[in-house]
Structure 1
Amino acid sequence: MNEDLDPGKVAASLLVGVGALLRRVRQVPTGGGLTMPERTALSHLERSGPTTSSALARDVQITAQAMGATLAALRSRGLVERSPDPDDGRRVVLTLSQAGRRELKDKRNARTELIAQALAGGAFTPAELEQLAAAGPLLDRLAQNI
């Protein structure tokens, strides 16, 4: 086996590269004003669907109190909606509003544009751009297999 293809070394290299990319993209302001906890809550609601505040806090591994504050801010801006749980009227179910979906989409589009500008800036050869294009689906598949 080629030493460069050792799974442990590939894993370490991927973690360093993907981690650096994510940190950098998160550091560059893209507008919208969402905090990291707010973005995390909205993204989780988008992926997983309606849920309770306590379940959402558990899923994203923060305290119920911190999630409550985050959700209050999101509700005040119309990004999250509350409704009674159809199975248990004592509980409240949270859903992502249309405004919340737009906010997430706008944030993602801004980040996509940021990366596209970096790719188009001449720092990458056409062959490297092909490699990066091929890496996207592979990284997604890797994430699904963890």
Structure 2
Amino acid sequence: MNDDLDPEAVASALLSSIGLLVRRARQVPLVGGLTMPERSALSQLDRTGPTTSSALARDAQITAQAMGATLGALRTRGLVERRPDPDDGRRVVLSVTDAGRQALRNKRNERAELLARALTSGAFTPTELEQLAAAAPLLQRLAQTI
């Protein structure tokens, strides 16, 4: 390792630049109309599988009312469905519909296309594109190491 590299300075630079990239990518309005809370709830539900609204609210650290409003909007659009809990018929569990999974895929694809357009805009040299391509698996490994 290069003795001139300060791991704390590298960490700080990475957090700053990656944070800015993520914030900018999330701020650009995309077709599809999922709000940030809707996208977060839908992604969380997709990852965890069928669960209750209160469990989703607890995991997201928001009020049950806020989660209920978000899930209501997702249900109205057919992205989430309610079913009786197979273990306790008094409770209701929510799950992502096929349309909800497609909306998540579309959103991810749109974000990737947004980045691809930025990468091919002429702002990056071929060498810089190679460096970014080489950095991607390293950043993934770094995230998995945390």
Q: TM-score range by the shorter chain?
A: over 0.9
What is the CA–CA distance in structure 2 between the aligned matches of 1:124 and 1:10, rounded to whole Å? 21
CA RMSD of aligned residues (A): 1.3
Note if 1:3 corresponds to 2:36.
no
TM-aligned CA deviation for residue 2 of structure 1: 2.5
Task: State TM-score, norm by structure 1.
Answer: 0.93
1:59 CA drift (Å): 1.2
Paired residue for 2:39?
39
Distance in 2, matches of 1:74 and 1:128, equals 40
The residue number in structure 2 matching 1:26 is 26
State the partner residue of 1:139.
139
- What code does the residue aligned with 1:138 have? L
Deviation of the 1:98 alpha carbon? 0.6
Take 1:119 and 1:49, find their aligned partners in 2: how far apart are those partners? 35
SS across alignment from 2:47: helix
- The 4+ residue runs of structure 1 with deviation greater than 3 A are none
Q: CA separation in 2, counterparts of 1:63 and 1:7? A: 38
Q: Which amino acid aligns with 1:3?
A: D
Question: What is the identity percentage for the equivalent residue pairs of Structure 1 and Structure 2?
Answer: 71
More off after superposition, 128-137 vs 38-47:
128-137
Correspondence 1:126 to 2:139:
no
C-alpha distance in 2 between matches for 1:3 and 1:92? 57
Distance 1:7 1:75, change over 3 A: same
Displacement, 1:70? Answer: 0.3
Equivalent pairs counted in the alignment come to 145
Q: Note the residue ranges of structure 1 that are not aligned, 5 or more in a row.
A: none
Q: Report the counterpart of residue 112 of structure 1 in structure 2.
A: 112
Deviations 1:60-86 (A, max 9, x none): 111111000000000010000111111
